[in-house]
A and B are shown apart, each in its own frame.
Chain A
Amino acid sequence: MEKSLRRNCCSGHFPIGKFFLIFTSRVKFRLQVLMAITTGFFRKPSISCFVPAYAWSNLGSGNQKVWYQVKFIDNAKIVEVASDILTLDMVHKYRIKEMELSFTQGRWSYDSWGGFDPIASSNAKPPGVELWAVFDVPPDQVDASWKNLTHTLSGLFCASINFLESSTTYSAPDWSFRSLSGNLRYGLLPREAVCTENLTPWLKLLPCRDKSGLSLLMNRPSIYNGFYHSQRLHLTSDEFDPVALHGIVLEQTLTIVLQPDALDTRASFSSSRKLQPSWSMSSLFGKTVDGKCALAKSSNVYVQLEGSLVYNMKDTWNNIEGYEGEIVQEVPYEGFGSNSNFGFSISPDRMMKEINSFHKESYSILYGFSINNYHSSKPFDLGFWWKLPVTWSCVKAPLRVSRFLMGSGNEKGAIALSLQSTEWSQSLLEADKNKEKCNLRVDVFQVVPWYIKVYYHTTKIFVDGMPQALGDIIEKMNVSPSEDKVSPGVMEMILRLPCDMKSASLTLEFDKGFLHIDEYPPDANQGFDIPSAIISYPDFQTSLQYKEDNTSIKTPMVSKMQDRRTILSYTEVLLVPLTTPDFSMPYNVITITCTVFALYFGSLLNALRRRVNEEERLLKSKDKRTSKLQLLLSKFLAKLRGKPWEPPSSTPPSSSSKFISSKVILRVLLIAAIAFGWQYYDK
């Protein structure tokens, strides 16, 4: 991961982070702290509002998850902010209803970083570039709009999004990607390297860019040294509706997973268990925040303690139990040194508790910090440290999904999609025991490039290792096979899996196609990427409802978490090696065939034309003549050698052979001289 990052990004300029050197600990940290920093930019209170948010969390392996979110709403007709020009131009030119563009480096680890929370389901993105857009144009113009849009975005974000222009790279999912998607186009570029040149235009869309406010934390070296980062741009517009409610809403999100500096001076607490690494903003980013962006209405930072973490800490929190049900500020800080598991360097401004938790016994807690009153002489630098070792695990997605390739050789293979149950689906089983038959609905959406010729009739489904009839499991299936050099193969599927299964897998066989020599990308031997598949669980929706201390202040961050979202996860990108030709082959082939043809033709012509008898006669007469010449030559050579001349009749063959060999040597020397001269003068 680090290696690939350094190769892909121009991070030679950056100091190499020491996070990775320290990250050797195998202790399973089970900590999930969500830290959300929210800023509300209010430029024109009545007309438009600009709402960013920042989230970050300590993850399973002690990594930090950072989530920066910006929301921008505008229904003013005249362009005002930099982002306005872009969005208005784009929305009006291409008539975009909704659009999402994400740049991601690294793969979201659904197991250790969580797969069942709003962040994972909305901000975990496949590696590379993902773009989808819904257009408000007649169906026959959608493709043209899409092509123009890809070119525009490509120029704006300094990325090769224009490769999505080709009809072989994008698809039009019917119902599996988003329900009710009429004029939707979806494209993925798995091999796009994401770096600062993509982040800078993204930051340009913020009013304060990275000059002040929370975006000051976007220090390039620390962002790009992380395990995962994903920048997202989401645009919705109801401009073309007769009743426009919001106008254009632009939402920008940056999600980062960082490894905190584990150098902890307080670590010598327990000999058996290690403490989780402590962190602070300055240690994670190397920067602090000196006040909010002047254009922001408010700026807030949130730290979220995940439900399971709170549950695990309850042993040491017994004394707080009494306060449950009412919001008491600074509860964990009164008995700071004695019974609390952790501490903040700054006391939080408010605390919120989840109300409709899925697991009744555990609820997550959100601590809010307002940075409105900080300024350059008093910078905001939130720190967090652990007092007691705690372990917990993130809430995982209903199924653990992985996709891999089977088979060997360059001719054919198979794609396998493996779904394994997690403890989550086990609990689901217990919950639904009473029902007659418990089903788990899984939607699969997969796009395969045309040169991977998938045979959809070879679809096989195994549940717990036993092959199953397709009709029992597949509820709905929509397949559009690939067309060579025209369109990719798209597969949409609804699976109904029994809840009590341990594992299920789905395999599809394919043949590898041949590309035209012009179609191979540079470095074709690296292999070809099959974009991530999307696995979604429409039965499950995630939302975090918080009981707020002051309902009048409803921050965008919290309301964002309350949105109900379908759980979805992206699979791995597959790397398929294809047979790559020797790229000088055409010329070799041309040369060889032409030479063979020329030889054939020449000899045929000669055979037709030559007079064998006559030539033989000529040769004989020549022999007589040359023998005289040879006599003279041998005399001359004998004189040169200083030997008495002998009549050649005794040893004519030997002398002639010697003569020939010297001639050959002479020729070789001549050729060498020419070659040397050529080399010399050619320089």
Chain B
Amino acid sequence: MAEISQTMGTESSSSEENRKENSESSNFDIKIMRKTKPGSKRLILTLTVFFSFLLGLPWLLKSIEIYRSPLPFRDIDSLSNAIDSIPFVFPCKFHVVFVNFDHSTSVKPNAENLGFLVSSYMSQYADRNSICGTCDGNYTVSVSLDIGDDCVEYEDANRGISWKCGALSEFNFDQIAEDDEVFDNYLQSVVGWSRVYTAVVVNTGKGDRTRAVVGKYRHAWIVGRVTEINLLAETVAEMFMKIFVSGAKDEGNIQGEFMPVGADGKIVLSFNLLNADPRDWVYDWDFREVDEKLLAPALEALGPIANISVESQVLYHTPKSSYSYWDDEQESHIFSTKDLPFFVNSNEWHLDTSIAAGGRSKILQFVVYVPSANECPLRLQLPNGEISVTNGFISPTWGGVVVFNPPNCLENANSMHPLRHKISPQELNHIFEVFMGQLRQLFGLKSTGFYKGALGTSILLDSERGFTEWELDALARQHACYNLQQCGTTLGSLSRLVQSLPRMIIKDEIGKQVKFSLEAAKLAQNNASQGIYDASAVSSRHARSLAEDAFFHPSVMSISYYSFEHMFAVYSPFFLPLSLHVILAVVREIKRYKQESRKYAAWEAIRKQHSD
């Protein structure tokens, strides 16, 4: 409108100009020219609206933003990378002591080389597919020679390792063979509580073969006539690697995911006494005594590895669900190993009555099965046809079962009223010894008292706590490593999940848990590098349980995330038509402005020609 009035105004100007312009207007084409400058009011208006929308967009996005606690993604990535790339290796220290090697043997001149010899053999024995929690390549071997009055120490930069010279001189080595326990404790008093694995080689010069014993602390000894020094070094190396480092595990041992520790670092040991049919007899036990006497030391020993709690119950009317048959030869009912998968009757055995059953703790069930009168005595037949001594079996990650046959069970059947018995302390002791073996097996340890290596058999001494020091070390290393791996994977998945769902609410609590988990993981790594295995296991356990807590936090599991689709559905009815309007208006105005400017420029050119 403004332009039109302007043109009107100019047209009604003075007559001189009129004449002049008439000549100009003769070649003035309204379609391609205009005489006035194109107005910019509408352009400015539309552009203002357009830019105010663009400026308002971040403000809108900010206002509909959801709360996400900042997670340390970089730290998580570096942790999981560190765990994945560098195998978790603990430093281990070994010490070999040669006693009574006189000058006649070739030991003394080789004293410096002995340590090197042992370590070279050790690297041979090292597991190629490096299992988590070993000391691969990160060990030091020191050697001491004790020849009564003369001591030679080959130190490998280890200040802490020392050997009291002549400490064993007053000990009568003839006794060793008779009483290992005494010598074990004596050695412990000599060596003391250090984290060094010691092997004492005593040359008695008698007998024709050596005898290797592993004590319940962190030392072993080899006694006998030593002739070949290389063979001796190899034996020592095998002992170090296979027993002290790997924990003397069976082949096909229990690995990572079969670790019987719950994600929150807890184990609940549930001891169940099952009376298959209380109409025949009712057995009861004094569990409290067992708990105090037998279980408590073992559980205390396992303290760094898991937080263990114990509960017990007596259940009735719990028949097994597999069949057994009568064997005249054995005079008992036999169930064979192939029936074992069906032995546990999950319909009738209501074992999971505890509150812990709902959590993430691991529950290990230990079942004493008292058979009914018509299947008594019940015995387990091994695949080789023999009758099992323990009369029990384990199921990895589930627990163990022991069948307890009531004494004289053939006689007091068919009684009208059930007899009430109490399992005698001796029987109970026997049962719990089996359970302890089963628990060791569930942890992947050997339940037999000897280790059969490539170069002979070693005797393993039992600890009254159920677990020896070196076994606990191996377990702690393994668990620390596995826990850290799990922690790394869990945190890694959490960070991936969080990053893949940009509109998921993350509470502060999760951020805190992740932070603490990372701190605990770092502490565990520090402890591990210093060789403090149990502390490392404890903090790795915390790291893992915190990571799991963060991952399984209820707010993550819930559907309370506000999806992009939802936001689109809410805001598109307003912004879609509106942005169409605004953008079209801007495009049109700009187009028009350019067009009109061109027209004006054309007229200007003509006017200039005429004025010239």
Contact = CB atoms under 8 A, between A and B. Distances in A.
Q: Do A and B bind each other?
A: yes
Contacts of B354: 85-86, 89
Interface string B549-574: 00000000000000000000111011
Most A-side CB within 10 Å, residue of B313, B353, B416, B582: B353
Given A294-B418, A591-B573, A80 B279 contact: no
Contact of B581 (A76, A375, A602, A613): A602
Contact of A82 (B42, B284, B313, B355): B313
B1 interface: yes
A86 to B, nearest CB: 6
A78 B287 contact: yes
B573 A608 contact: no
A80 B312 contact: yes
Interface residues of A, number: 46
Nearest to B288: A78
A597 to B, nearest CB: 6
Given A86-B355, A608-B45, A80 B313 contact: yes
A295 B420 CA distance: 9
A90 B354 CA distance: 9
Nearest to B317: A211
A209 B588 CA distance: 84
A82 B353 contact: yes
Given A591-B573, A608-B45, A80 B287 contact: yes
Given A204-B350, A609-B42, A89 B355 contact: yes
B574 A594 contact: yes
A609 B316 CA distance: 89
Interface string B351-363: 0011100100000
Interface string B400-417: 000000000000000010
B contact patch SS = helix
Given A594-B573, A609-B585, A43 B284 contact: yes
Nearest to B46: A609
What class of interface size applies to chain B in its complex with A?
35 or more
B133 interface: no
Contact of B311 (A79, A375, A591): A79
B282 A295 contact: yes
B358 A155 contact: yes
B314 interface: yes
B586 to A, nearest CB: 10
B350 A212 contact: no
Contacts of A76: 288
A82 B358 CA distance: 16
A207 interface: yes
Nearest to B1: A613
Interface in A582-609: 587, 590-591, 593-595, 597-599, 601-602, 605-606, 608-609
Interface in A36-84: 43-44, 76-82, 84
A624 interface: no
Interface in A196-212: 204, 207-209, 211-212
B2 to A, nearest CB: 10
Nearest to B279: A294
Contact of A294 (B46, B282, B315): B282
A152 interface: yes
A208 to B, nearest CB: 6
User: 5 tightest A-B contacts by CB?
Assistant: A594-B573, A594-B574, A294-B278, A211-B317, A598-B577
Interface of A: 43-44, 76-82, 84-86, 89-90, 93, 152, 155-156, 204, 207-209, 211-212, 291, 293-295, 375, 587, 590-591, 593-595, 597-599, 601-602, 605-606, 608-609, 611, 613
25 contacts: A43-B284, A76-B288, A78-B288, A80-B287, A81-B313, A81-B315, A82-B350, A82-B353, A84-B313, A211-B316, A212-B317, A291-B279, A294-B277, A587-B570, A590-B573, A593-B574, A594-B574, A598-B581, A599-B577, A601-B578, A605-B581, A605-B585, A608-B42, A609-B45, A613-B1
